[in-house]
Amino acid sequence: MAYSNFKPTVWSKHIQLELPKFTVFKQDCDYKFEGEAKQGKRVKILGVSRPTIKKYVPETDIDAPETPPDTSVFLDIDQYDYFNYGIDDIDKAQATPGLMPALSEETTRGLAEAEDTFLAKVLALGAGFTSNSTSITTADAAKKAIDKLFVKLWDNGVSTKDKVTIYLTPWFYDLFSDRLVELKTDNDGLIAKGVLGLYKSARVKMSNNIYNDGTDDYIIVKTSKAAAYCNGIDKLEAYRPEKRFSDAIKGLNTYGGKVVRPKELAVLKCHNS
């Protein structure tokens, strides 16, 4: 059978490597647990509280050692997306220049869209601070609203040295773009990740997948450690559909996301009217 020559491992690795290129929100999350993503699995994210810093007085005993509380949280892999499409002849497709890469890319784009939409909602609803519904119609109003989110993060201990990202809708970006510092020509890596500019040293990105509750868009400012994310291509295989004279490819993408440091994530609920 033609599908017996299909290379699922190669495809799986390719999709796994390419997924971040088509996602906006995932790139700026902690996803070091990536290899642990399997259907129905629960991943433990270790965390330790900051120890108490005390003043030392010479020639006196110090306090007994404290035991910082365990702040570990669990990340459930509870999102499952699949694809399943037919190909006349997989051997022929793999031998046709550019065809299999094109199919792989479109598959990756579809999976990325689903992941980004999911994660945008997780971030929007898990923020430590969420503003009241706000009408934003001018560049000055956009700047002031974003500045307030930064103040909230700074008040919560976020440092100016922490990696921070701002996520905007297209209409908000249009109002806000003149406030950005343009990227230098040697920042190809940032440009490839969808970074449009910098503001207060934070990276600025734009997405059509930003969460909307029916009235407001949820503009997000967050650190890279505010949320954890994990995904993996759990299953990928070629097969011969019983009622078709063709080969087919099906795959299962499993993932999960969670806000683990809500104080490092602030949201502006806003509309353009």
Give the tens place of pLDDT for each residue, 191-237.
Answer: 666 788 999 999 999 999 999 999 999 999 999 999 988 887 767 88
- Rounded Cα distance, 207 and 28, in Å: 13
| CA distances (Å), origin 88, targets 3, 91, 235, 239 | 10, 9, 21, 12
Between 145 and 7, where is the model more confident?
145
- What is the bridge-based pairing of β-strands 42-45 and 134-135? unpaired
pLDDT of residue 16: 58
Per-residue pLDDT band for 3 (boundaries 50, 70, 90) equals very low
- What value does the mean pLDDT of the chain take? 82
The tokens describing 198, both together, are 């910098």
User: What is the mean predicted confidence (pLDDT) over 72-81?
Assistant: 86
Q: Give pLDDT, residue 110.
A: 86
Over 90: is that where the pLDDT of 90 sits? no
What pLDDT does 150 receive? Answer: 97
Please give the model's pTM, rounded to 2 decimal places. 0.80
Res 132 pLDDT > 90:
yes
Q: What pLDDT is stored for residue 240 in this prediction?
A: 79
Give the pLDDT mean for 74-95.
77
Structure tokens at 185: 């020509």
User: Minimal CA–CA distance to 14: which of 103, 91, 92?
Assistant: 103
What pLDDT is recorded for position 10?
A: 54
pLDDT given for residue 102 in this prediction = 73
With cut-offs at 50, 70 and 90, classify the pLDDT of residue 47.
Answer: low
Top-confidence residue, 88 or 175: 175
Confidence band (pLDDT; 50, 70, 90) for 182? confident
Q: Which residues make Cβ contacts (< 8 Å) with residue 49, sequence separation at least 6?
A: 68, 69, 70, 71
Q: For the chain, which domains are there?
A: 2-271 (3.90.1690)
Mean pLDDT over residues 170-190, rounded? 81
What is the reported pLDDT for 106? Answer: 82
pLDDT at 88 over 70: no
Crossing angle of the two packed helices 8-22 and 99-125, in degrees rounded to 10: 50
- What's the pLDDT at 1? 41
Q: Is the pLDDT of residue 67 over 80?
A: no
CA dist., res. 107 & res. 272, Å (int): 33
Burial 68-89 (b: 16+ CB within 10 A, else e): eeeeeeebebebebebeeebee
| pLDDT of 248 strictly over 90 | no
Give the pLDDT confidence score for residue 265 in this predicted structure. 98
Sorted by sequence, the CB contacts under 8 Å of residue 210 that are 6+ apart come out as 120, 124, 167, 168, 169, 217, 218, 219, 220
> Tell me, what's the pLDDT at 192?
62
Q: Which of 13-17, 42-46, 77-81 has the lowest mean pLDDT?
A: 13-17
